[in-house]
A = this chain, B = another copy of it.
Amino acid sequence: MQHGAFEDVRIEGHLIDSGIVSQVMDHIIAFGGEFEMLSFDVGRTNTDVSVAVLRVSAENQDHLDGILSDIQSHGAYTVDASDADMAPAPMDGVFPDAFYSTTNMETDVRLAGSWVRVANPEMDLGVRVDVESGTAEAIPMADVRAGDLYVVAHDGIRVHPQERPRDKQAFEFMSSAVSSEKPKAQVVADVAKMLRDTRAAGKDVIAVVGPAVVHTGAAGELARLVKMGYITVMFGGNAVATHDIESALYGTSLGVGLEDGVPRLGGHEHHLRAINVVRRCGSITAAVEQGVVTKGLMYTLVEAGVPYVLAGSIRDDGPLPDVITDVIEAQNAMRVHAQTAGACLMLSTMLHSIATGNMLPASTTTVCVDINPAVVTKLADRGSWQTVGIVTDVGLFLEQLANELEK
């Protein structure tokens, strides 16, 4: 290979046991570049930090820029850092060409010679810079306003990859693989401890909830977690709220009696009648206040003052008046909570869980529970040590989790 261009990059941290240097080297090779290790100060013990400096070579400047941009997201930044480049948004809702697309990790941009932390880290956004205040923030495409300045290209950007802690952590034994074949008692205890720690730290816990939680008769167990204060925000869709209110009004979910599992006469219409009733009341809160809905998960959320976001989908019947039918509005409503949460439980819903996962910073502890290993794999595969997948029956799991937390 002719080396038309090279650049020296620096990486620091627990490089070896976090596998970070391996990843950076892998990517350089995979994309046709080469590297030379200029220096590698290895931490002698397992608490020291290592520092590596690599010289990355490529065929030409374009090729080099591509590689540097790629390994940047794994923590490599150029030794000779320059300021970030910026360009104005050409019109509302459109980033400038060559806009920098964010990861969900902590990120700095260099403005006037100083590294500035980007607020609200979230995947696949742009970085808006306020030159006067010297601040930077991640912004969704739909919220772009013409003329605002956005970071472009790859100079002056530093990403802090999520590091694996050297000592054992709560979820270590689970994070290695997603499997239904794990001792469940320990899994439950670990999740319980994590919830206690998160709430003790004063952070929110989001539950993302699918209708299977109601169908399996587990909505009551989730309501126990709400009452105990372990769930402080709820995300879901029309289905979970509808079937929960159906169960409050008629004792059924999808028309099947939750006490005895026997289908009810006319039961297949219950969900539609429940929606109709709440639409007449005006909202779920109104239905609770008017004494129409007197129990269940949604009732408990209203009574406990726990906020919820119900996002619409094209498969919705009705929907309930509280459902936000515009999906971009719904995202913005979820984003408010996602940015600050300390933990997130994803319970038997792929659509809402993926949507939530897209908004969470990499540092948010996330637990995905589903009986379908494919769903868990997809959700847990975010490349962060904070994400744990549990393949189990969500109904039985929530019951045991609530029991454990009540001890």
* A→B interface (CB under 8 Å): 16-19, 21-22, 25-26, 29-31, 34-37, 40, 42-46, 63, 66-67, 69-70, 90-91, 93-95, 97, 99, 101, 124, 141-142, 166-168, 172-174, 177, 180-187, 190, 211-212, 215-218, 253-254, 256-263, 265-266, 268-269, 272-273, 275-276, 279-280, 311-319, 325-331, 334, 351-352, 354-355, 358, 371-374, 377, 381, 391-393, 395-397, 400
Contact = CB atoms under 8 A, between A and B. Distances in A.
Contacts of A173: 256, 260-263
A355 B34 contact: no
A229 to B, nearest CB: 25
Nearest to A370: B180
B181 A269 contact: no
Nearest to A70: B265
A40 B391 CA distance: 41
Contacts of A70: 265-266
A141 B279 CA distance: 10
A94 B280 contact: yes
A217 B184 contact: yes
Given A22-B22, A185-B217, A395-B184, A355 B35 contact: no
Contact of A392 (B37, B325, B373, B396): B396
Contacts of A261: 173-174, 182-183, 186-187, 190
Contact of A26 (B17, B180, B279, B313): B17
Contacts of A93: 279
Nearest to A357: B315
A181 B392 contact: no
Contacts of A268: 101
Nearest to A353: B315
A181 B215 CA distance: 5
Nearest to A278: B94
B184 A275 contact: no
A145 to B, nearest CB: 14
A371 B395 contact: no
A276 B186 contact: no
Residue from A181, A212, A260 having most chain B Cβ neighbours under 10 A: A181
B272 A101 contact: yes
Contacts of A166: 29
A373 B376 CA distance: 13
Given A265-B70, A371-B180, A371-B393, A16 B16 contact: yes
Contacts of A273: 101
A31 B263 CA distance: 8
B29 A167 contact: yes
A272 B93 CA distance: 12
A256 B184 CA distance: 12
B279 A94 contact: yes
Contacts of A40: 40, 42
B42 A37 contact: yes
A263 to B, nearest CB: 7
Contact of A36 (B44, B334, B381): B44
Contact of A16 (B22, B43, B212, B314): B22
Q: List 7 tightest A-B contacts by C-beta distance, closest first.
A: A183-B217, A66-B265, A396-B396, A186-B261, A181-B215, A314-B355, A393-B393
Contacts of A182: 215-216, 256, 261
A37 B29 contact: no
Given A180-B212, A316-B327, A392 B371 contact: yes
A276 B124 CA distance: 12
Among A29, A168, A185, A258, max chain B CB count under 10 A is at A185
A96 to B, nearest CB: 9
A141 B317 contact: yes
